[in-house]
Structure 1
Amino acid sequence: MITLTLGRPRLTTGLDEHERVDHDTHVRLHGELPKMTADDLITLTELGALPGRGGAGFPFARKLRSVLRSALRRRAPARVVVNAVEGEPGSAKDRMLLERLPHLVLDGAELAAHALGAPEVVVGIADRAPSGADDDPVRESLRAAVAERRSALGLRLVQMPHRFVSGQSGALVQGINGGPPVPPGQPRRTSENGVAGLPTLLSNAETYAHAALLALGGAYQYASVGTADQPGTVLLTVGGSVVVEAPAGTPLVQVLHMCDTAPGQAVLVGGYHGAWLSPDVADRVRLSHAEVADAGGTLGAGVVLPLPRTTCPLGEVARVLRYLAGESAGQCGPCLRGLPALAESFSALVTGESGPEPALAAAAVGEGRGACAHPDGSALFARSALAVFGEDVSEHAREGGCGRPVSGLLPLADGSTDRRTRLSLDWSRCDGHGLCAELLPDLIRLDRNGYPEDQRVTVPDALAADAELAVRMCPALALRLSSQG
C-alpha cells in the first residue's frame, strides 16, 4: 500500500519517517488528547463542519447530538463503534489508518466515548486481510495499540465477513450483537437502537481520525486548508491501492497526476455505489462532497478509479455488476432478482445483443424498495455508466463489440474474477411440477402454464444451498448448476 500527501500532511503526519506511528511518537507529533464534554465535542465538530467519511457524508455533530439525546431520554449508557470493515474493494484508506496510524483513530473514538459516557470502544474490521493472508497487519496493529495506550477505556475488536454489504452500518451492528452480519430488513437508527439495543455512535475510521485532529489542534488550525463548506483534508484511494491525503477542494486531475495516471475513458468516484465522471467533468471537478455532487457524482468513501482506454468499459461495468449481484444479503426481491437482471442486461450490452432500454429498465431495481441501500447504490453505478459510455453502447450494438478486451482493471474482493453460479433449465425434461418455484420463490417464477419463465438465472451466494436442493429435488432432473467466469 502506497501513501502520498498533497500539501502539508494532517492525518498522515509522521508517515514520512515511520512505517507505523506508535503511541509515544503520536503524542510527540500531536500532543496529549484532551477530555471534552459532549456539548464541547458537538460544538467543536460543528465548527469543523465535519462530515462522515464512510459514504453518506452525514454531519458528525448531528450524529453526536442524536446519540446524546437518546441516551439522556432513555437514561441509558451510549456505545461507540468504529466502522473499519471497508467492504468496498476499491478502498484502502481505513485499513491504512488502523495499520499505520491507529492512535489517531483511537483518540477520536476515545474522545467520543468519554464525552458520551461509553464504557468501551468497539472496532469492526474485516475477518481477513484483502490478500487472504491469515496474519492481518490491522489486527496486529490494534492489539499493539491497546498495549501502548494503557487506557482505562475498554477496546473490543469485532471481525466481520469480508463482503461488500458487511460495511453497512446496520450489518455491523447486527454482527456486533451476535446476529447475521447483514443489513437489517428494515431501516433503524443506530443513534436510538444500536449495540445491545442502546444509543450508538457509529462512524468510520477516517471520521474519528478527523475528530481527533480537531480536538488536538483546534478548529482554526483544522480549517486552514480545505473549502468553506468542508474544511480539512480528505483521504482518497486511487486505483485501489494508493492512498492520498489532499485538502478538500483539490482538483481531481491534480490527484490523478500525482498518482501518474489520467482520467482515461472516465473516472469512477465513490466506489461501486458511486458514479462515473466523463473526462471533461473529471478535468474540472474538485474533491469535496458538495462539488462532486454538483457534478452528478458522489464522493462517498473517497474511492477514485480511473479507467484506461485499453479496456472495454461496458465489460468492466458488467463484471462489477455481476460481483455486486453475488454480494447481496439475499433479503429482498430487488437484490435477489433485480441485481442479477441488471447484470445480465449489461452482459447483453457487451455482446451487442440488446440496446440500452433493457438496462435502463433493469436499473430501476431499487427506487427505495430494497431492504438496504445495496440495490439503489448498484443502480446508480449502472445508470451513470449508461450515461457516460453512451457511445460505447451504440458501437457495441452496431459491431457486436468495441474490439477491446475486458482486462479486469476494476478491483474486486480479494482479486477475484466475476465467477457466477447459474441455474439452468432443460426445457426438454421439464414437466411443470412447480417444485423449483416452491423451493426458490425469489428466483423462479412460473408462467400461466406452470413452467418457469426463465431458462437461466444467476444464483446469489445467499441462495446457493437452496439452489442445490432444488437441483436434487427436481422430479424430472431438469435443473443443473454451473459456474461461469
Structure 2
Amino acid sequence: MIAGRTATRSAGSTRMIPHKVPDVRHVGEPRLTAGLDRTRRLDYSAHRALHPEPPRYSVETLVSMAEAVDLRGRGGAAFPFARKLNAVATSAAKKKAQVAVVVNATEGEPASAKDKMLLLRVPHLVIDGALLAADALDAVEVVIGVAEGHAAHNSILAAVEERGLSDYIRVFALPERFVTGEGGSVINGISGREAIPRGRGGRTSDSGLRGLPTLLSNAETFAQLAMLAELGPTGYAEAGSPDEPGTVLLTVGGSAMRPAVVETPTGVPLATVLDLCGAMVGDGVLVGGYHGRWLTPVNAASVPVSRKSLADVGGVLGAGIVLPLGGETCPLGETVRVTSYLAAQSAGQCGPCRLGLPDVAYALKDLLDGGGTVEAVRWAATGVRGRGACSHPDGTSRFVLSALDTFTEDISEHLLNGTCGRPVYGLLPVPDDDNSNEHLVIDWSRCQGHGLCAKILPQMVKLDAHGYPVISDIPISGAHSQRARRAIEMCPALALRIEER
C-alpha cells in the first residue's frame, strides 16, 4: 500500500514509556481486539497474520461501504463517516486541491482509554484504516495526533517505522487536556498553533491541515474502517443490531472491580457489559463521558448498547465511556469534582466558558455544602448553553443538568442535612491540574469588607449580607489564576493570599 513510499526515521525515540496497558475484554467474538488475549501488543507480522492487507478502494466504493453499515465517527459526535468522506472528496475536486488525512487519537477525556488502547495494542489496525482512506482520496499526508507523554505515542511511532512509512505518516504529540480532543484543537495543534478549538464556523472537510480539505476522524473510526474493508458490509453486519451493525469499544471504569476496554456488539444489554467488569450501578451510570448524561439505575439495568437505545432513555453513547458509581460514594460530590475540572479546562476564548463554567462549579459546590438551590445551579448551567465558541460549555451543561435530574434524593439530603453522609471516593477520574492545590484564602485580621475581590473575581468570591467575602474552596483553575493574583494585588487591606493544600 502507498506504492513508492520510502522510509525515513521519525523524529524522537520509539522506546516504550512505562505505562499501564488497558485491560481488554469482549462480549462475543472479538474483532478490533482479536489476538489480545494472547499478547500485549500486535507487531506488524502478528497483525498481518490476523488481518490481511486490505485492497485499495476508490472513494466512491468506500463511501458506499460506509453507507451500507451506517459507519459513524466514534469520537463522540457520531457523524456519518460516508458523508464526511464524500464531503472531503467533493471539496478537493471543486478546489482542485490536495487532501490530508488526520487521525484524532488525543483522547482528551480522562475517563476514556479505548483509543490509547488501540494505539498501544493494535496500532496497525488504525494505520490500515487511515491508509485505506488516504489511498482513496490520494492524500498527500497522514497525521496521527496523540497525547504527549503517553506510551501510545511511542507505540504508534514504532508501528509507522516498522512499515517504512515515516515520510508519509507523521505522528504529532499534543498537550493532554480535555479540549485538545476537539477536532479543531487537533488541527490547530498539528499546524503549530495553540491546541484549542477553532470555534463553530468552518468545516475541516473544506479547510483543515494547511488549509487543505482534510478527513478528520478518531482512532476507533479508522480501525472500524479497516474491519469493514476486511469483512465487507455483509460480514461486518453479522454482529450487532440491524440498525447499528458492528461492534463498539466501551471504556468501563467508575465502580467497576475489573475496569477495562470492552468490545461488544451493539444491541447487547448494558447490564451484561457492567457484569463482565464487576460493576455495581448504585446511584447511576454516566454514559458518554464528561459531556454525556447520567442513567438512572432502572434505565441502566434494561437499556441495550446503541446510540438510539441510549438516547431513548436520556443517555448518549458519545465516545463510549461507561462510569457506574456504585453506592458508596457521594454522587453530588463526584459531580462537583468533574465540573470543577471541566471549568478549569476552558480554552479561555469566550465568556460562557471562561466565566460561566466556574459559576456553575461554584453553584454546585454551594449545593454540596447544603446551601444554594437547585434552581441556581440550573440557571447557571442553562445560561452557558449554546453561547460558547465551541461545544465545551454545552457538554458541561448537559452533564450537570443530567446530574440534577438523576441525583434528586442525594441532593435533597445535602440541602436538608448539609451532607449525605457519604465520602467522595473520586471514582470519576480527574487528572491533577497544575494549580489544583492552590486556594484563595482570607486573613480575617486584615479584611475590612471593601468587596473589591468580589468585583475582580466574581466566579470565586461572593459577598455575604454584611459585605464580607465568602470564598469558594474550589481550587484556583488555570482560567482564573491571573484574576486571583490581581485580586490579591488590588486588595486595599492586603487580606488575600494563595495557599497550597
Pair in the same fold by TM > 0.5: yes
Partner of 2:391: 373
Answer yes or no: is the 8 Å Cα contact 2:435–2:477 preserved in 1.
no
Of residues 274, 279, 302 in structure 1, which corresponds to 2:297? Answer: 279
Give how far 1:69 is off: 1.0
Partner of 1:89: 110
Partner of 1:302: 320
1:464 to 2:476 alignment: no
Deviations 1:222-277 (A, max 9, x none): 00011122110000000064100000111100000000112121000011100010
Measured in 1, the distance between the counterparts of 2:30 and 2:223 equals: 13
Measured in 1, the distance between the counterparts of 2:73 and 2:149 equals: 25
Deviations 1:149-180 (A, max 9, x none): 23486111111111111100111111111111
1:12 to 2:33 alignment: yes
Answer yes or no: is the 8 Å Cα contact 1:325–1:339 preserved in 2.
yes
Letter in 2 for 1:174: N
Measured in 2, the distance between the counterparts of 1:479 and 1:295 equals: 50
Measured in 2, the distance between the counterparts of 1:445 and 1:186 equals: 31
Partner of 2:192: 178
Give how far 1:480 is off: 3.0
Give how far 1:454 is off: 7.0
Aligned residues: 470
Bigger mean CA offset, 13-22 vs 304-313: 13-22
Relative to structure 1, is the Cα distance of residues 403 and 430 closer, same or farther in structure 2, using a 3 angstrom cutoff? closer
Secondary structure of 1:159's match?
strand
What's the Cα RMSD here? Answer: 2.6
Give how far 1:45 is off: 0.8
Deviations 1:121-165 (A, max 9, x none): 101111123xxxxxx2x1221122112223486111111111111
Could you state the TM-score of these two structures normalised by the residue count of structure 2?
0.88
1:391 to 2:446 alignment: no
Measured in 2, the distance between the counterparts of 1:349 and 1:443 equals: 15
Partner of 2:137: 116
Relative to structure 1, is the Cα distance of residues 103 and 63 closer, same or farther in structure 2, using a 3 angstrom cutoff? same
Secondary structure of 1:157's match?
strand
Measured in 1, the distance between the counterparts of 2:453 and 2:273 equals: 55
1:262 to 2:280 alignment: yes
Partner of 1:132: none
Q: How does 1:27-106 map to 2 (within 5 A)?
A: 27-106=48-127
Measured in 2, the distance between the counterparts of 1:478 and 1:99 equals: 52
Measured in 1, the distance between the counterparts of 2:292 and 2:497 equals: 32
1:127 to 2:145 alignment: no
Of residues 213, 220, 223 in structure 1, which corresponds to 2:237? Answer: 223
Bigger mean CA offset, 360-369 vs 152-161: 152-161
Identical positions, percent: 47
Give how far 1:330 is off: 1.3
Secondary structure of 1:263's match?
coil
1:340 to 2:358 alignment: yes
Of residues 157, 172, 190 in structure 1, which corresponds to 2:171? Answer: 157
Of residues 13, 17, 26 in structure 1, which corresponds to 2:47? Answer: 26
Letter in 2 for 1:480: L
Structure 1 residues without counterparts, runs of 5 or longer:
130-135
Of residues 144, 157, 177 in structure 1, which corresponds to 2:158? Answer: 144
Answer yes or no: is the 8 Å Cα contact 2:160–2:166 preserved in 1.
no
Secondary structure of 2:317's match?
coil
Relative to structure 1, is the Cα distance of residues 479 and 66 closer, same or farther in structure 2, using a 3 angstrom cutoff? farther
Measured in 2, the distance between the counterparts of 1:82 and 1:301 equals: 15
Measured in 1, the distance between the counterparts of 2:372 and 2:315 equals: 27
Answer yes or no: is the 8 Å Cα contact 2:119–2:155 preserved in 1.
yes
Secondary structure of 1:10's match?
coil
Partner of 1:237: 251
Relative to structure 1, is the Cα distance of residues 425 and 34 closer, same or farther in structure 2, using a 3 angstrom cutoff? farther
Measured in 2, the distance between the counterparts of 1:272 and 1:435 equals: 31
Measured in 2, the distance between the counterparts of 1:218 and 1:199 equals: 27
Relative to structure 1, is the Cα distance of residues 64 and 359 closer, same or farther in structure 2, using a 3 angstrom cutoff? same
Answer yes or no: is the 8 Å Cα contact 1:79–1:121 preserved in 2.
yes
Letter in 2 for 1:198: L
Secondary structure of 2:383's match?
coil
